[in-house]
Structure 1
Amino acid sequence: MTFPFNQDLYPYQRHPDQDAARPVHHPVTVVGAGPVGLALAIDLAQRNIPTLLLDDNSRVSTGSRAICFAKRTLEIADRLGVGEALVEKGVQWNLGKVFFGDRKVYEFNLQPEDGHKNPAFINLQQYYLEITLLERLRALQADGAPVNLRGENQVSTPIQHADHVALTIETPDGFYSITTDWLIACDGANSHIRNRMGLGFKGRVFEDNFLIADVTMQADFPTERWFWFDPPFNPGQSALLHKQPDGVWRIDLQLGWDIDREVEKDPDRVRVRVAQMLGPDVPFELEWVSIYTFQCRRMDAFRHGRILFAGDAAHQVSPFGARGANSGIQDADNLGWKLAAVVNGAAPEALLYSYDTERVQAADENILNSTRSTEFITPKSEVSCVFRDAVLVLAEHHSFARPFVNSGRLSLPTTYDDTPLNTPDALPDGPTQSRPGAPCPDAALCHGFLLDQLDGQFTLLALGTNAPDNIGVTILSPEITKDIRKRYLGNAPSALYLIRPDQHIAARWPCATANEIAQALSRAKGHAP
């Protein structure tokens, strides 16, 4: 079988920049054509911001890598024009089950309520996500969007100046130079740019190893997330099973700390482990094998002058909880509109400091949750193990114990409660899920869904009241359905919501004057209050 990661999808081509007498200038340069870099380049292209996307490779990722994409990521993907394609290809799931030994402890539903367009999660190999994003980027290019992707272009050490960044780029034809107003490093956990700048991480590396085995098989397992503590096929350790498209299943097996990685990756040894899990009557083939170590770390700051970091280049978390790729795409979602506003002169450079503030908060939340998951999954003392096992025994019969079971708190978007872009809440009795700083909860309308009505610009959502005239933003006045009432009004008879381009709420009032809205809009664009 020929997998997409074996194909050159954006091979090297010589560009006129390489023959220019002087370095050509680019407003925005994004380094790294993985999910985060592609998402950011698409967002900027849709906003008509000239963007250069560079990657030292010419292919999508090897192996499935990130596979769980959360509802918030799918909502962002809708705005980028790829959401429906991802959901159609992906395996949808809401139900998870937790086992202790060979007994099911309990199950949980991640999306028990209706009125959302997207499922709680889909499982989809990362290479399919990247291919879908590449196709979208090419479609934008065909429509004249100012975005250029160059494969096999390796950036060397960037040199910052007061008003630009100078880059030297290595290609199969040698070196060339460009300048850029803004450089965005989305070049992964081993970020070449971060390392060349001498910037590191703070946080923890956990003493444990996990085997990833992607296998193809025809099995009767349901489309659910199954997690085992101390299973009979991997005693004293843990295991995870997920279904992916094309008959591919992801298996994670805890191995312990003191192992020989090369020995454990031997295909024959992996086949024995997988067969112990699946049983002798389930034929399978190995597609991809890797071993990883839990890491919960981040950079001190995500903005360094005119260079900003996003995704794994900025922060790393353990895979359990699906927080890596999801948080990286949310980085791109947060940064895209802000960078566009600064480039267009619609906002001061100070707006970009809020990217650092908000996404560092998100990284800290992800690291905290990921660390707690790791400590529960891999207890490092006898006392911790006794406590963990007691919780699992209680959870089988007592619901109060189930919130203490932590097999990976699954990815949720961050609410930016303390961002300087928020206006103090003027609707204190409104639903907490739609307070300032929160991402807009989706809601079913009489025709379609609320988030589909937001166009990636500032929007004033008017519910049960009229919006003032001439406020300079899009006004949306949908019908008040039961979902709108529950998620945006609560007990309030009316409300106005100012919604940011990334669908986070900047302000809300029972009603507001044009001046109040103008002040909130100015604050949300990074102007000092």
Structure 2
Amino acid sequence: MSNNNSNYTNPAYSNGYEFSGGAGYELPTYPFVTPPELLGAPPTTYPVVIVGGGMSGLTLAAGLAQLGVPAVMLDEDNTVGVKGASSRGICYTQKSLEVFDKLGIFERIKAKGVEWHIGRTFAGNDEVYNFNLRDRADFKLSSQPPFINIQQFYIEGYLVERIAQLGVVDMRWQSRVSACTSNGDSVNLQIDTPEGNYQLNAAYVVDCTGTGTPFHKWCNMPVSSIKRDDRWCIADVRFKVQPPTERHTWIEAPFNDNRAVWQHLMADEVWRIDYQMRPDDDPAYVSREDVLRERLAKQFGAQAECDIVWVGPYSYRSQLVERMNAERVFFMGDTAKVVSPFGARGGNTGISDADNLAWKIAAVHHNRAPAALLNSYHQERHEAASVNVQVTARTTRYLRPNDGAERLFRDATIALAKQHSFARALVNTGRMAEANPYTRSGCCTYNHPLVGRSVQNVAFTWCNGQAAHLNDLLRWASGNLLLLWFGDLSTTSAGKLQNTARVSGVHMVQVVGKVQQTSAVEAVHDATGALAAACGAQQWALIRPDSYLAATGQTANAQLIKAIATALALP
């Protein structure tokens, strides 16, 4: 159903963007294409409609396209990012980079962005904490670096191009959802466009529209929310002479009235500098370029020359939905949860939301799993969201402590950290994000400490000696579960195991050491044992398309059959 009376208006931006200044960024624009519904096409029910073309929505669209699931993506704007806004999210975790590698855009991100793994924290002029993420076991095995800094709109643009290249998802720009109703078997959406309004039906709808989403109201979804009075001024600055390429944070910066400051380098030699402001500061005043230049002069010296790319105010709140879905409508990214930016737990968890849901929708769409599999999206990602809200809330209270016990605790930890190494871990400027473990998923068989955790993108070699990584096997499995068998395997046992895998819709690979003989049709070499160690060093490991370890074990018996059924929510 359609009509030619258009209710569409251009997006209105908030959250302080109206006070922004600076030269700004040039963003790509995408044309409005008249949808078939406005050309008289008969009604149809799409497998998936994604509402919102931000980071999580585009990641989901690319994931579905790669797994062969037709979908429609709607976005009310005609560009990525936010017109006139800042770089927004800039810090992307190893897990997110592994997802982007799987989707085929990591090399572009690596070429454009800035890798980093060292961070330093200061209180006044004293360094009170530092870290090197490459020294940590939970980062060192992956083929992706711990972090890359790059402006969010670059990644979103790469995703748009990748989705177009895959050709399975219909991206519809300048298309706003104005109503949503569900009839049990499908979801009906009212779409407003510049050329008229129409209705769209979908088996599943994924809401990625962000914090101001109307879907919460339409779906009667309870949301818990805490508004903070912490205020920040965000500046994107390009210096004539570059500061050291490290992540520096100040808890009490002497050049910012003893308030916090963040300093990161990102793509195009642009620095993101975040200044903590007083709660009662005027957002229009703190965003003035002359006021920012005064701050920069205090921090870098009056002689420091720079161009201001963008400057604007920022505030935040913590928010969490009661459930990650309302029947056939799923919530993702900032629609599901909102956290403070400390530790890079915002956009990165939205990327993991998308990676989690994409393979499950694909499994249901291709009749490899029942719809019950989708229930695990709430189980797993709501746990992750809850943890991230809690972790960032603690950081927020540390950086903006209330008078009394919170203030005393912060002052004490800073004083101790200046003199004693044991206290440095208590200095909390943001616990850096990593892949959240799933501790209570109905789709995991918890028989090993690593089950429910993400397996890093470990390197190995094909039998012909060429280098490869876990993501290569996951792409080969094409949305199916991946069964790795470690070590020797008789020809008879290999045949039985491969038959079990084939009947269960699982892709099986034998993993051997450098000198071992292979018996399975598909085999790889793990000369260092890194892949086996990452999977728990058992006889077999069952890995999901989102890289999470679903189960592991010692013998190919009924336990394996049950683990496969559990991972796919089979009865």
Range with bigger deviation, 281-290 or 452-461: 452-461
CA shift, 1:197, in A, is: 3.9
The aligned length equals: 512
User: Is 1:526 aligned to residue 546 of structure 2?
Assistant: no
Equivalent in the alignment of 2:60? 40
Counterpart of 2:162 (choices 136, 139, 145) is 136
Conservation of the 8 A alpha-carbon contact between 1:4 and 1:127: no
Output aligned runs, 1:217-366, within 5 Å. Answer: 217-366=239-388
Distance in 1 between the 2:420 and 2:342 partners?
24
Q: 1:126 aligns with which of 140, 152, 155?
A: 152
- How far apart, CA to CA, are the structure 2 residues paired with 1:454 and 1:168? 37
Matched, 1:214 2:236: yes
For 2:384, what is the secondary structure of its paired residue? helix
Structure 2 equivalent of residue 77 of structure 1: 100
Contact 1:104 1:396 in 2 (8 A): yes
Tell which deviates more after alignment, 63-72 or 81-90: 81-90
Deviations 1:408-461 (A, max 9, x none): 111111111210001231xx4xxx4xx211111333325333343322431011
* Aligned mates of 1:234, 1:264 — CA distance in 2: 12
Contact 1:155 1:169 in 2 (8 A): yes
1:239–1:252 CA contact under 8 A, matched in 2? yes
2:525 to 479, 503, 516: 479
Where does the alignment leave 5 or more consecutive residues of structure 1 unmatched?
Answer: none
Report whether the alignment pairs 1:54 with 2:74: yes
Q: Which letter maps to 1:80? A: L
Counterparts in 2 of 1:133 and 1:231: CA distance versus 1, 3 Å: same
CA contact (8 A) 2:225 2:319 kept: yes
Kept after mapping to 1: 8 A contact 2:286/2:312: no
Q: Is the 8 A contact 1:226 1:242 kept in 2?
A: yes
Cα distance, 1:21 vs. partner? 5.9
Alignment deviations for residues 211-243 of structure 1 (CA, whole Å, 9 cap, x no partner): 111111133322211000111111231000000
CA distance in 1, matches of 2:255, 2:243: 17
CA contact (8 A) 2:175 2:193 kept: yes
Q: Give the structure 1 partner of residue 40 of structure 2.
A: 20
**Following the alignment from structure 2 to structure 1, what is the Cα–Cα distance between the partners of residues 337 and 41?**
38
What code does the residue aligned with 2:345 have?
R
2:486 is matched by which residue type in structure 1? Answer: L
Amino acid at match of 2:73: L
* Bigger mean CA offset, 176-185 vs 374-383: 374-383
Alpha carbons of 1:232 and 1:3: their partners in 2 closer, same or farther (altered >3 Å)?
A: closer
Mapping for residues 424-503 of structure 1, pairs under 5 Å: 424-425=446-447, 428=448, 432=449, 435-446=450-461, 447-455=467-475, 456-466=479-489, 468-470=497-499, 471-472=501-502, 473-476=506-509, 477=511, 478-480=524-526, 481-489=528-536, 494-503=538-547
- Supply the AA of the counterpart residue of 1:316: V
Instruction: Name the CA distance, whole Å, in 1 between partners of 2:380 and 2:319.
Output: 16
Give TM-score scaled by structure 1 length: 0.93
Question: Is the CA contact 1:465–1:495 (under 8 Å) kept in the aligned structure 2?
Answer: no
CA deviation after TM superposition for structure 1 residue 157, in Å: 1.3
Most deviating of 256-265 and 403-412: 256-265
**Residue 518 of structure 1: CA displacement?**
2.3
Give the drift of 1:5: 4.4
How many angstroms does 1:7 deviate by?
A: 3.5
RMSD: 1.9
Q: Does 1:107 align with 2:134?
A: no
Q: Tell me the distance in 1 between the aligned counterparts of 2:545 and 2:529.
A: 25
User: Counterpart amino acid of 2:183?
Assistant: H
Alpha-carbon distance in structure 1 between the residues aligned to 2:72 and 2:41: 19
**Contact kept? 1:205, 1:293, Cα under 8 Å:** no
The alignment-based identity, stated in percent, is 35
1:120, distance to aligned residue in structure 2 (A): 0.4
Report the AA paired with residue 352 of structure 2: Q
SS in structure 1 at match of 2:535: helix
- Is the 1:33–1:53 Cα contact (8 Å) retained in structure 2? yes
Please state how far the C-alpha of 1:60 moved relative to its aligned partner: 1.2
- Listed one character per residue, the Cα deviations across residues 24-58 of structure 1 (whole Å, up to 9, x for unaligned) are 32111001111111110111111111100110000
Matches of 2:34 and 2:171, distance apart in 1: 12
- 1:4 Cα offset (Å): 5.7
Do the aligned partners of 2:219 and 2:326 also contact (CA within 8 Å) in 1? no
State the distance in 2 between where 1:248 and 1:4 align: 11
Give the Å deviation of 1:115: 3.6
> What pairs with 1:394-433 in structure 2 (closer than 5 Å)?
394-425=416-447, 428=448, 432=449
Cα deviation for residue 506 of structure 1 reads 0.7
Q: Which of 550, 553, 563 is equivalent to 1:509? A: 553
Moved more, 53-62 or 263-272: 263-272
Q: Structure 1 stretch 189-198 or stretch 250-259: which is displaced more? A: 189-198
Q: Which residue of 1 aligns with 2:113?
A: 90
Q: Distance in 1 between matches of 2:201 and 2:50?
A: 12
Say which SS state the counterpart of residue 372 (structure 1) adopts.
helix
> What's the offset of the Cα at 1:262?
1.9
For the structure 1 residues 2 and 396, does the alpha-carbon distance in structure 2 shift closer, same or farther, using more than 3 Å as the test? closer
**How far apart, in 1, do the equivalents of 2:42 and 2:190 lie?**
12
> What's the secondary structure of 1:207's corresponding residue?
strand
The 3-state SS of whatever aligns with 2:205 is strand
Contact 1:496 1:511 in 2 (8 A): yes
**Aligned partner of residue 511 in structure 1, secondary structure:** coil
The structural deviation recorded for 1:15 is 2.0
- Corresponding position of 1:202: 224
User: Which moves more between the two structures, 19-28 or 33-42?
Assistant: 19-28
TM-score, with structure 2 as normaliser: 0.86
Instruction: Tell me the secondary structure at the aligned position of residue 206 of structure 1.
Output: strand
For residue 514 of structure 2, what is the aligned residue in structure 1?
A: none
